Structure 1
Amino acid sequence: MTRGVAVGRGSAQVAVVAPGARGAEPGLLRRADAAGQRLFRELVVSRIAWSAVSEASRLVAVDVVAFSVRVAGCDHPQPCHLHHCHDHLEVRAVLGNRGPRLPGLRLADGEGVGGRVLRTGAPVAVRAYGMAPFDPDLVALVTEEEGIRSVVGVPVSFGGEVRGVLHAGLRHGGGVGPAAVEALSRLCTYAGAAMAAARDRARVEEVAALRERRRLARALHDEFGQRLFGIGVTGGLARESAAAGRPDLVAHLAGLERQIAGASAALRATLRALDRPSAPAGALAVKLREDAAAFSARTGVASHLLVLGEPAPIDEAREDLLVRVVQEGLRNVERHARAHEVVVTLAFGRGTVELVVQDDGAGLSPGIGGNGVGLGMLREEVGRLGGDARLARNEDAGCTLRTRLPLG
């Protein structure tokens, strides 16, 4: 059942699907629940988007599935965190498309099916997209380039806020039925909760990184503030002695030399202490976070670090090797992937540590195939420590570099 909200050219109708529409079989809804629960496996927005379109394509019979997220459409410095500026949708994941223009497509509030969903907060269906009252360029993209005849958009919401839209399209006659819409709505309920959890996790990571920076600042200030002050005082006395030609100049210079040597030794000791904090695996997580942050600053590609499981002690050789694996993985993403987001996962198991670098880019390029010189050398080192490293193309998009090492 639908409730019409606008009528386009000819027989086309843009309709908001009534909240009371039902018809899905219990088995379909159970499958939707199971699919939705799987979205919580990786709490990163890009992975949720790809997982959602993959699950939707298996859940209902449609030709094209896309997932768009709410983004800022303002001219403020990005990322803009003002809520009222997030009035656009951007397509982040697509399955079944024929051309290259759907990924990255932006829709303003009220524009197209997605924009109508963003405005109304309810599912919106168009049975004859070619006759819909939308922008002609958008209609041509959907109908002529993609061959799509009917589209339904389902809101991905949490806490009463639309955070994204799941789009489903058919290339044959008719439209997506109410049972399928209900199943997709159930899936989107889980997707909205997963996106909210991903945002919360990102904020927790930001707070943890801020606390770590403050800890480093306090440690450096407490250790070197007084030493540097003393060096400055002694240097001033040496300058005065030199200007006056006093014989105590040599004594002041010797004292300055001792103070500098003491500061240098203290710096080395502080760096060793900071490099290996008391918390197990703390140093490794800090190093990986720094590498990910440097990668994002250099490339503009979003990166995230997840630490899973109970951290366990790691010897220096394995720690250094894992850091180099991440650096090599990020370099490959930068050179070849054309990715929008990268996720680095450090997972501790019983007697093992696993490091995974995932991206949502173009996948393995011809001639690379995981056999690059840098990765090949690292794979040999991992093998000498009893582990393995593999680079493989993901089912949806991008690549995964997975390295597993025994801790013993």
Structure 2
Amino acid sequence: MSVKERSKTDLQLQLLALYLLFVGPIFALALFFYSVESERLREEVSAADLSLARAIALETDSLLRLAKEAAIAYAKLPAVIEAEPERMAEAFSAGAIARQDVNLLYRLTKDGTMLYHYPSSPGSTIGTDFSYRDYFQDAMTTGHHVFSKGRISPTTDRPVITSVMPVYKHGEFDGVVGVNLELQRLTETLVQISEKRPESEKIDIIIVDSAGQIIAHSNPDKLLTDFADDSSTVLKAVLAGEEGEFTDESEGETWLYNYTPMPTANWGVIVRHPTRLAFASLKRFQQGLLIALLIFGAGAILFWYAFSNRVFNPLAQLTRYGESVGQQISGVELIPETIEPLSERPDQIGRLARTLLRTEQSIRQRLVELTTLNKTSTVVASSLDTDQVINAILDEVRRLFNVRQCALLITDETHAELRIRASRGLSQNYVSRLELTDTTKRFPAYRAISTGQPVQVPNIELDPSFANLLPLAQAEGYQSLLVIPLIAPHVLPAALTIYRDEEHFFTEQEVNLAASFANHAAIALEHATLFSLTDAQLQQRVQFLSALNAVGYTVSQSLDIDDVLNNAMDSVFEVMPVDACWIYLQRQSEDFLRLRVQRGLPAGLAEQMEQQTIYPGQGLIWQVVESGDPLLLEDAHLYQNQWPDDPLFSYEGWQCLAAAPLLAKADITGVLGIASRTESTFSETEVELLQAIGNQIAIAVVNARLYRRSREAAVFEERNRMAREIHDTLAQGFTGILIQLQAAERLSVKNTQKALLSLREARELAQSSLQEARRSVFNLRPTVLESLTLDQAIAQQVERFKNETGLEGKFVLEGYPTALDAGTEQNLYRIAQEAMTNIKKHAQASKVEVTLAFEPKTVTLTIVDNGIGLERSRQQKQAAHATNGSDRHPARIGGLGLVGIRERVGLMGGQVYFDAPANGGTQIKVVISK
């Protein structure tokens, strides 16, 4: 419908519709805001209740977990297993004191009879049969820990639940041990939480057990009652381990439930909130919003009536006129007289009308150009086919500029010259014969590319730079041209050229329009280039992740640190172009690094690095540790002056070297290094991969060390067991010896035969106890090995030997110390200890040297002194015993002695050598296979 045909009424309805389109979104926004705010308030209420439920569940679950751990621990106590009331009283009393929520600890026999409970007063149920209890039956049947249902304890007459653990004796069920938890304290806590809230925010807090029974409630009257029937949605959800919220009606009230589970006992916490209280603020907000909308609506109506005739109607008229200017549809254009009455107004409406009239023509001219550019932009953005985009651009250029010929020139990398990539209206002869080489640098296309500015030639016959190309140009029939350079970071030098058949000077508007098309062409070429680069980078990233995954899989195949490091070295050589690789490690409690493993290093350099100890501030390796960042050196020999003492730079074959810290949990455990003899350098991606591999190795090393600690902890547990065994066996043996000796003393005067019999029995007991002592001593791990490594422990022993004897002592460590099994470490430590004890007692030496050598397949312990030697020592001991009349074997002098050393070496499957060096003294050499 045209403007002339529209009636006044229709115009008012249209304006009203436009106005309603303005007011309507405000109301819609208000309703949307109400919806969002309502949901937010609901979520806040629910989140607050759920947070409270989580906090209560976390605290209660912690108490249950401690009760479970206590029951499991009590079930393993010898006093509980042996059912000794006196010892159980001591153990139970300590537990009751430590846990205020525990009101009873007890032991039931295998038939369910109360054997003992603590405290034993005021009431006692000892002797009562509790085999009918569900928890007793469950513990006996499953053999696992269980929690009972809530009940009133007959012993304490208090509401309790019980943490129950079956007791096994000699592999057979022998009853249970129970820990009663006071439920009244939980209820009192929930009551306090509920009472602290305002009256308008009152809630019910409920804790239910796995059977749906209320274990604790903010209303004490509901303690130990059923929460609901088994079909309750909330109960079923929380006992299924789910967390969430639910709305339901009960007791004539709509309730908001929030619930969360407690996994230790399969309990749940439920927070119940009446919706009339929970959403009271939401209702007030709803009322306030309604009032605000009513006020705003009334004001909007008044505003529309006041300004429609003065402002809205003229604006609508100007808007329609402006739309007609922007549309090139036949039959909708308005003649200028339509808004001329408005242009006579002195206010802003009049000024706007006059401006529209002045700019109408320019707008219509630009509209066609912008539409064309928009179509071109759509083609550029929707396709990665460069040829398709360029052809579309050339078609639009020819149509918009109303020209016959145009072309896109781009540099050919092979021939280093500009060539026509695509063209319109140019003959094949022109395209093939056009050669723009270094000899034609003055050609307009080269000038535009070199300056980055458009270049135009209004008449080619008057331009000297066109002399060589003039015959070709005249054959094509063009007389003038415009060249626009294509500027993009990743695009080769290129230019867009527009040809005209007549002499023509391109206006600034035409140049700008051509530049827009050139920019579109540059974007298309840039997209194609970046797409190829992105694809290459993606392939590189895939290779990076594949390599890192391979390394991670390799180092995770073993918990032995030697296997981990060797596997890591293999992986580095597989995924990176290197000629050598090495790993330095820093042991715990040491402030220096040693070379742990290497591949590809020259023999001489490897020997130098193995003998080197890296202390703070020394060389390239410590530089990496100190900075915590990877380090890349090209032409590494140039950096020799920076670290003159570093063996790495004594070898001049390296062309590139990189090192990365082994980082795990913010701690640096060592350094991973690689080197190449080629002239290539390591890329940034390869250095990043090296750091990632280093992190994988660091994690594997930490895991291996943790595994070793766990094994040492197991040995420590065995040592404690052996200590108890010594107490139980040797103490009894020595008691028997004492009794027999006392009997022999009494009978020595009256009955000689019986006295001799008692002495024989005492001797036999002594021999038996001695054998038992030897067996136990061999199996004990020295406590010093619990906190120190083997080499540190032996070094400490040598230092103690020097201080105690005043002799000259020296400890030498060769090779990188590796972890040995606990038995081997304790035997080597005891051998060194026994050897130094013998030296102190018998060798008459002034100097001792102890060497611990770690080799790839063996460990060697050597103790050398400059004393009198084994033979003279043995002769002196035999002479001393002959003088004393002793009948003991000389080899047993000094405790275990040399016999003990042989026995320990035999247990390890190793070899021991006792030699006399040429310069005197004694050498004990022990060789053990790893």
What CA distance in whole angstroms lies between the structure 2 residues aligned with 1:148 and 1:104?
Answer: 21
Which whole-Å deviations, capped at 9, do the CAs of 1:91-117 have from their partners, x for residues lacking one? Answer: 111111112323343322343322111
Alignment of 1:5-154 (within 5 A): 24-71=540-587, 82=589, 86-98=590-602, 99=604, 100-132=607-639, 133-138=641-646, 141-145=647-651, 147-154=653-660
Which whole-Å deviations, capped at 9, do the CAs of 1:34-88 have from their partners, x for residues lacking one? Answer: 22221122223333222222211111001111111014xxxxxxxxx54xxx332
What's the TM-score, normalizing by structure 1?
A: 0.55
Instruction: Give the aligned length.
Output: 266
Native 8 Å contact 2:619 2:645 kept in 1: no
Unaligned runs of 5+ in 2: 1-536, 779-820, 833-850, 856-904, 913-927
Native 8 Å contact 2:633 2:657 kept in 1: yes
What CA distance in whole angstroms lies between the structure 2 residues aligned with 1:325 and 1:168?
Answer: 43
Relative to its length, the structure with more helix (as a share) is: 2
Distance 1:95 1:236, change over 3 A: same
The one-letter code of the counterpart of 1:128 is D
What CA distance in whole angstroms lies between the structure 1 residues aligned with 2:772 and 2:621?
Answer: 57
Task: Give aligned-pair identity as a percent.
Answer: 20
Native 8 Å contact 1:68 1:92 kept in 2: yes
What CA distance in whole angstroms lies between the structure 1 residues aligned with 2:678 and 2:823?
Answer: 50
What CA distance in whole angstroms lies between the structure 1 residues aligned with 2:822 and 2:704?
Answer: 17
Distance 1:272 1:116, change over 3 A: closer
Alignment of 1:317-396 (within 5 A): 327=908
Give the C-alpha shift of residue 251 in structure 1: 2.1
Give the C-alpha shift of residue 164 in structure 1: 0.9
Native 8 Å contact 1:97 1:146 kept in 2: no
1:209 matched residue in structure 2: 715
Query: Is 1:256 equivalent to 2:759 in the alignment?
Result: yes
Query: Is 1:179 equivalent to 2:685 in the alignment?
Result: yes
Distance 1:273 1:214, change over 3 A: closer
Give the C-alpha shift of residue 215 in structure 1: 1.4
Give the C-alpha shift of residue 142 in structure 1: 2.6
Give the C-alpha shift of residue 261 in structure 1: 3.8
Native 8 Å contact 1:155 1:188 kept in 2: yes
Query: Which of these residues, 827, 836, 840, is aligned with residue 294 of structure 1?
Result: 827
The one-letter code of the counterpart of 1:229 is T
Which whole-Å deviations, capped at 9, do the CAs of 1:132-156 have from their partners, x for residues lacking one? Answer: 2533132xx3344362232211111
1:280 matched residue in structure 2: none
Distance 1:160 1:264, change over 3 A: same
Unaligned runs of 5+ in 1: 1-21, 72-80, 276-287, 304-323, 333-341, 343-356, 360-408
Matched position secondary structure for 1:41: coil
Native 8 Å contact 2:580 2:599 kept in 1: yes
1:362 matched residue in structure 2: none
What CA distance in whole angstroms lies between the structure 1 residues aligned with 2:759 and 2:906?
Answer: 43
Native 8 Å contact 2:743 2:755 kept in 1: yes
1:199 matched residue in structure 2: 705
The one-letter code of the counterpart of 2:852 is G
Cα RMSD over matched residues?
3.8
1:16 matched residue in structure 2: none
What CA distance in whole angstroms lies between the structure 1 residues aligned with 2:650 and 2:740?
Answer: 79
Give the C-alpha shift of residue 179 in structure 1: 1.6
Distance 1:29 1:105, change over 3 A: farther
The one-letter code of the counterpart of 2:721 is R
What CA distance in whole angstroms lies between the structure 1 residues aligned with 2:745 and 2:624?
Answer: 74
The one-letter code of the counterpart of 2:678 is H
Native 8 Å contact 1:92 1:104 kept in 2: no
Which whole-Å deviations, capped at 9, do the CAs of 1:323-381 have from their partners, x for residues lacking one? Answer: x99955x559xxxxxxxxx9xxxxxxxxxxxxxx7x5xxxxxxxxxxxxxxxxxxxxxx
Give the C-alpha shift of residue 247 in structure 1: 1.5
Matched position secondary structure for 2:720: helix
The one-letter code of the counterpart of 1:251 is K
Using CA pairs below 8 Å that are at least 6 residues apart, which structure has the higher relative contact order? 1
Distance 1:293 1:273, change over 3 A: closer
The one-letter code of the counterpart of 1:136 is P
